[in-house]
Structure 1
Amino acid sequence: MTDLAPDLTDAPNGTKPFSRFEWMLAGRYLRSRRKEASISAIAGFSFAGIMLGVAALIIVMAVMNGFRTELLGKILGINGHMILEPIDGPLNDFDAVSERVSKLEQVRAAIPVVEGQVLASGRETSSGVLVRGVREADFAKMPAVIDNVLQGTLQGFDEAGGLAVGSRLAAGLGLQLGDRMTLVSPRGAVTPMGVAPRVKAYPITAIFQLGMSEYDATFVFMPQVEAQLYFNKDDAVSFIEVYLQDPDSVGLLRGPVMEAAERPIFITDWQQRNATFFSALEVERNVMFIILTLIVLVAALNIISGLIMLVKDKGRDIAVLRTMGATRGAIMRIFFITGASIGMLGTLAGFVLGTVVCLNIENIRQFLSRLTETELFSPELYFLSRLPADMDPSEVASVVIMALVLSFLATLYPAWRAARLDPVDALRYE
């Protein structure tokens, strides 16, 4: 220890804070020795715990963000941000109302829609579907549909008099492009015997895949004029869908939209229609964050136990250093560096691991599905056909900072105990 004496006395009151001497001793304490195997094992488990905890937090938060973003994009890609429904009578002036509303600065499109629920029959089975009557020109304002046509075309949709159906619906009914789908509506023609169901068959002219299983299995698009005849709407529509530049600005645009409509209307927005769903996602996300934070907390507690054992094992070394002039602050910094290094390395490794997994999350899912011969992340349960991951830099930074803070706090008590150790007592009972 004599070769260390000059370093200990360089400063009048001991070593300089975080000097090379303190880092050297902390590095020696981190390296494994045969008689310190248990301490090294605890340090290894602490490192692994922090790494896995940080990686799990980053991955789960990214998947939850991706899940919300994908669902929001799919839902708002085919459903308007605002729905304008008539109050005082049929919405037969929909062209004029749509034109006035679409001229507002924040409005991207206003699309009149005829909507109704019917029973669709194919070769093998039947299924309840949601039919929407839309004009061909309005499909250009719905990129979520027009950009995801797998078979057929939407050109000449009005004149063709056919249907555009979801891929899962067509597969479920055993139908292909060009086949005829039979639609049955309970509200048909009025006869002396009552209302007779309306049954009519239409050819399938396009098959689309939105990537959201619920929509691909239930949505059917029909030319608007044909839908008005089928649902007895005459020259009216069911409602007008309004697409905004910023979906979060629905609250600010309610007043201007009602003024532009120039008739009594009832407005519902996407936040109201999906409030329960997205609130449940937010609660689940927060709960998962709290649960996974406990992994990092347990790893931080392992750092405390490992450092306490290290302080007890190095009591004689601490006493010798104190008698050679090392201050309490130097001893405290040595053990602080020892514990903090575990936390910093574990956090860095967890950040790298979490980032790599998030960037390859879909490939990993497919590999695990092939390996286990099971379908992970089933579209029927989770509505999406792929596992999304969207890393938010601010959330990743908060996870990293939280892990570092917990790691640093975990080192304070053992380091303080080491600094408070009486060298006389330590040498007496050694």
Structure 2
Amino acid sequence: MNSFVFEIAKRLRQPNKQDSYISFVSASSTAGIGLGCAVLILLLSVMNGFEYELRNTLLSIVPHAEIFSINDRGLYPEKEFIDLLENDPKVDAVFLLNKASGLLQTGKKMKAVSVIGIDREYFMQKLIRMNNDEALFDQLSQVENGLLLGKTIIQDQGISVGDQIQLLLPSSTQNLSFAAPKSAWLEVVGELSAGGELNNQLGVVNNQYLATLLGFSDKVTHIEIKLKDPFDAHELVRKYGFNFSQAAFMSDWTRTNGHLYQDIQLIRTVVYIVLALVIAVACFNIVSALVMSVKEKSKEIAILKTIGATNTDIGSIFILKGLYHGLKGALVGTVVGVLLALYLPEIITLIEVVLGTQVFSGDIYFTGSIPSKLDWLDVVITVSLVIVISTIATLYPAKQAANVEPTANLH
């Protein structure tokens, strides 16, 4: 492709008054491509952001994998089994915990809660990542019957730090007959941030204190496994769970919260397909503009052929003209999309300030804002998609231009 082709293609890009309609169609296709690119990059960045928050927020507190007792009798944490888990290269940490479901009673109000007994290691490995200060655990450890409550529970139930509240835990007997619930008075020592629904469900106490309430001395209810890669959970928990010597249930995060990850991937796929089609439609508007341009410029094409331009030269001129509009739209759309993706949290915050409302509630979802994480690979794929579709869209008009007969148009 010689400089002659580039020079002619450059001249054809310059609009004139006679073909204003062609210029309008070309501008519309360029705008459509730009809009499609910008929205695609933005939405893919949002999906990346949700996936990142899922890994680093929700999965920082939700158990990756766990083995737990089938009743309230607990499990013996066999040393050989625990050592086997801890020595697995995929395992980051193993926690021996007690968990229970119960009711909190404050005055005439009752609230269902999930109570977890924790130690310092658990707090430092998991809860501190949810913006909980280490001083919270110090407050908990200083009060034997201390309780940390999810912030939504505290707000909804009108509870204050220092309040004494009653915890009721279910009891069962050997013959499965009804037994009065176990009762304990707890002192609220702090407000816990756990993210999303957990803020309305979770209560945290000292592990040894909960073990005493449950009547355990050398047992636990849960063996929780934290993995270096949460996506190994499904395979790993079955590998060890089936070799556990005691009757127990096993579960992993893909069973309890896996639908969130699947939803993100499904939405990502749908977004990509829909917006790729939008970009394709905008690119194929280039066909209309180029076909009209070929008819408008048929005399000029004939003159070029008579002075020595080959069919390949003529076709290349119109391919370059079409690619110019595609690349222009891709460039503008990419710049806009990247800027929106990088500054989306700030934009959302500004909108919330102006409207005086919260767009995205952290009390409902596992993140308190619409997250965005730009992946440059998505940008490269989007631009490459535009280049490929734009090139395909120019082939038919380029062929029509190359087939123009000089003798039929020079009159």
TM norm structure 1: 0.85
Structural mapping, 1:61-80, within 5 Å = 61-80=44-63
Using the alignment, how far apart are the partners of 1:427 and 1:275 within structure 2? 69
- 8 Å contact from structure 2 (residues 63, 253) kept in 1: yes
**2:147 touches 2:186 (CA, 8 Å); kept in 1?**
yes
1:34 to 2:17 alignment: yes
Question: Is contact 1:124-1:174 (8 Å) kept?
Answer: no
2:104 maps to which residue?
120
Q: State which of 289, 301, 304 in structure 1 corresponds to 2:284.
A: 301
C-alpha separation in 1, matches of 2:4 and 2:217: 89
Cα distance in 1 for partners of 2:285, 2:108 equals 61
Aligned residue in 2 for 1:14: none
Equivalenced residue count is: 407
Q: What are the superposed Cα offsets for residues 285-339 of structure 1, whole Å, 9 maximum, x if unpaired?
A: 2111111112201111211111111111111111111112111111111111111
What is the letter of the counterpart of residue 159 of structure 2? L
The equivalent of 2:117 in structure 1 is 133
Question: Kindly tell me: are residues 151 and 247 of structure 1, through their superposed partners in 2, closer, same or farther at Cα, counting changes over 3 Å?
Answer: closer
Which amino acid letter does the alignment assign opposite residue 402 of structure 2? A
Letter in 2 for 1:339: G
The Cα of 1:150 is off from its aligned counterpart by 5.5
Counterpart residue identity of residue 140, structure 1: M
Q: Which moved more, 1:325-334 or 1:125-134?
A: 125-134
Q: Is the 8 A contact 1:110 1:241 kept in 2?
A: yes
Answer with 46-55 or 81-90: which moved more. 81-90
Any residues of structure 2 matched to 1:2-401 within 5 Å, and which? Answer: 17=1, 19-86=2-69, 90-94=73-77, 96=79, 97-122=81-106, 126-142=110-126, 144-145=127-128, 148-149=131-132, 153-155=136-138, 157-160=140-143, 161-187=145-171, 194-210=178-194, 212-233=195-216, 235-250=218-233, 253-254=236-237, 257-258=240-241, 263=246, 265-401=248-384
Preserved contact between residue 66 and residue 237 of structure 2 (Cα < 8 Å): no
Runs of 4+ in 1 over 6 A off after TM superposition: none
Are the counterparts in 1 of residues 150 and 198 from structure 2 also a CA contact under 8 Å?
yes
Q: Aligned partners of 1:393 and 1:202: how far apart in 2?
A: 51
Instruction: Tell me, yes or no, if the aligned pair for 2:64 and 2:227 is still in contact at 8 Å.
Output: yes
5+ long unaligned stretches in structure 1: 1-16
Amino acid of the structure 1 residue aligned with 2:408: D
How far 1:264 sits from its partner (Å)? 5.5
Quick check: 321-330 or 364-373, which moved more? 364-373
Q: Is the 8 A contact 1:378 1:385 kept in 2?
A: yes
* Cα distance change, pair 388–247 in 1 and its aligned pair in 2 (3 A): same
- 1:333-353 deviation per Cα after TM superposition (whole angstroms, max 9, x unaligned): 111111101111211222211
Q: Matched residue of 2:189: which SS?
A: strand
Distance 2:250 2:409 in 1: 78
Summarize the Cα distance change of 1:381–1:265 in structure 2 as closer, same or farther, 3 Å threshold.
closer
Letter in 1 for 2:285: N
Tell me the distance in 2 between the aligned counterparts of 1:322 and 1:75: 66
Displacement after TM superposition at 1:366 (Å):
1.5
Question: Structure 2: where are the runs of 5+ without partners?
Answer: none
SS in 2 for 1:112: strand
Shift of 1:185: 3.2
Distance in 1 of aligned mates of 2:269 and 2:6: 38
Cα pair distance change 1:88/1:149, threshold 3 Å: closer
How far apart, in 1, do the equivalents of 2:142 and 2:119 lie?
Answer: 10
Give 1:236 shift: 2.4
SS in 1 for 2:63: coil
Identity %: 27
CA distance in 2: counterparts of 1:336 and 1:92, whole angstroms: 72
Look up the SS of the partner of 2:125 in the other structure. coil
**Cα distance in structure 1, aligned partners of 2:168 and 2:267:** 40
Alignment RMSD (CA, Å): 2.9
Contact 1:188 1:198 in 2 (8 A): no
1:6 counterpart residue number: none
* 1:99 CA displacement: 4.6
CA offsets 1:206-249 (integer angstroms, 9 cap, x no match): 32323x22122211111122222334556422211011222233
Please say if residues 5 and 317 of structure 2, whose CA atoms lie closer than 8 Å, have aligned partners that are also in contact.
yes
- Describe the superposition over 1:51-71 as per-residue Cα deviations: whole angstroms up to 9, x where unpaired: 111111111111112112212
Task: Report if aligned partners of 2:139, 2:189 keep a CA contact under 8 Å in 1.
Answer: no
- 1:411 has 2:397 as partner: no
Contact 2:162–2:188 (Cα < 8 Å) also in 1: yes
CA gap of 1:194–1:321, structure 2 versus 1, over 3 A, is: closer
Once structures 1 and 2 are overlaid, which stretch shifts more, 300-309 or 387-396? Answer: 387-396
Tell me the secondary structure at the aligned position of residue 110 of structure 1. strand
1:51–1:350 CA contact under 8 A, matched in 2? yes
For 2:256, give the aligned amino acid: R
Change (3 A) 1:349 1:370: same
Contact 1:120 1:181 in 2 (8 A): yes
Q: Please state whether the residue corresponding to 2:410 is helix, strand or coil.
A: helix
With the length of structure 2 as denominator, give the TM-score of the two structures: 0.89
Range that drifts further, 352-361 or 272-281: 272-281
Native 8 Å contact 2:6 2:317 kept in 1: yes
